[in-house]
DNA sequence: TTTATATACATAATTTTCTTATGTATATAA
DNA sequence: TTATATACATAAGAAAATTATGTATATAAA
């Protein structure tokens, strides 16, 4: 129903943390959701590549302990996109709660 | 991210309304969400057929004004499923709000 | 009167998105 | 030397939704 949820999550994490690499993102998601959301690589990397191709993210690499890390950062366009996506997500959640009656009606 | 959202919405509407036909469901969704969610037939009917095939829904038809209506009702199994699906949705929404920081932290 | 809109069902092609599986490579703990 | 953790990536397949059709009746508008 809500397309681009994963993109929204990635963009939001990068808004809060300014730069992150893929593996770090998977760990952050696991940590924040107490293990409820598991972000698999098969979902993450294609999403990152698409966001980069769309001009929302830019990258640079660093070598730490002989391992390559590919860091992602929001572009200016990406910065604007976060706001829009978050608003969309907010509306979506509210409507879903309405439909599912998960939000008790205010008297 | 959350699979089966549409199914959950359908099951919940049928829990509240005991019997509904397809077109009625599309209108209800539109009405409740003030036009924000548009449930297209291409999404709805396959979902209804699958829920029926899975034993969650049962059907009967009625003719009103020379037009056939196919009504759907929850089966016993469907009744149990609603509860599970709603719990899942609740957890999902909470985790998503955590990740997107849409729920202000309580001080 | 014929065109558009609303009601009511359904399916098929395509696209999008995610899961699962696989592959490479290094570091460390068992 | 085997398992786990770190770190990237892609490919096959499945699931779900969008878009496009198709049939059919009723009614309001042009």
Q: Report pLDDT for A104.
A: 56
Its domain, for residue A52, covers: 5-100
How many domains are contained in chain A?
1
Question: In 3-state terms, what secondary structure has residue A58?
Answer: strand
Question: In 3-state terms, what secondary structure has residue B100?
Answer: helix
In-domain check, residue B106: no
Confidence class for position A101, pLDDT limits 50, 70, 90: confident
User: What pLDDT, in 10s, does the model give residues B12-59?
Assistant: 999 999 999 999 999 999 999 999 999 999 999 999 999 999 999 999
Q: What's B63's domain CATH number? A: 1.10.10.10
| Residues above pLDDT 70, as percent of chain B | 94
- The reported pTM is 0.91
Task: Say yes or no for a CB contact (<8 Å) between B1 and A101.
Answer: no
Q: Spell out which chain B residues touch chain A, with contact meaning CB-CB distance below 8 angstroms.
A: 1-2, 5-6, 8-9, 12-13, 16, 29, 32-33, 36-37, 86, 89-91, 93, 95-102
Mean of all residue pLDDT scores within chain B: 92
- Whether B105 shows a pLDDT value over 90: the answer reads no
B98 burial level (CB within 10 Å; 0-12, 13-18, 19+): middle
Distance CA A34, CA A44 (A): 18
């Amino acid at each position: 129903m809500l397309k681009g949820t994963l993109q929204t999550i990635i963009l939001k994490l990068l808004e809060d943390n300014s730069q992150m690499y893929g593996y770090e993102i998977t760990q952050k998601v696991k940590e924040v959701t107490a293990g409820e959301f598991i972000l698999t690589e098969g979902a993450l990397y294609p999403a990152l590549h698409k966001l980069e191709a769309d001009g929302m993210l830019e990258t640079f690499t660093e070598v730490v302990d002989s391992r390559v890390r590919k860091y992602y950062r929001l572009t200016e366009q990406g910065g604007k996109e976060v706001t829009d996506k978050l608003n969309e997500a907010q509306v979506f959640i509210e409507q879903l709660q309405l439909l599912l009656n998960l939000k008790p009606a205010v008297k």
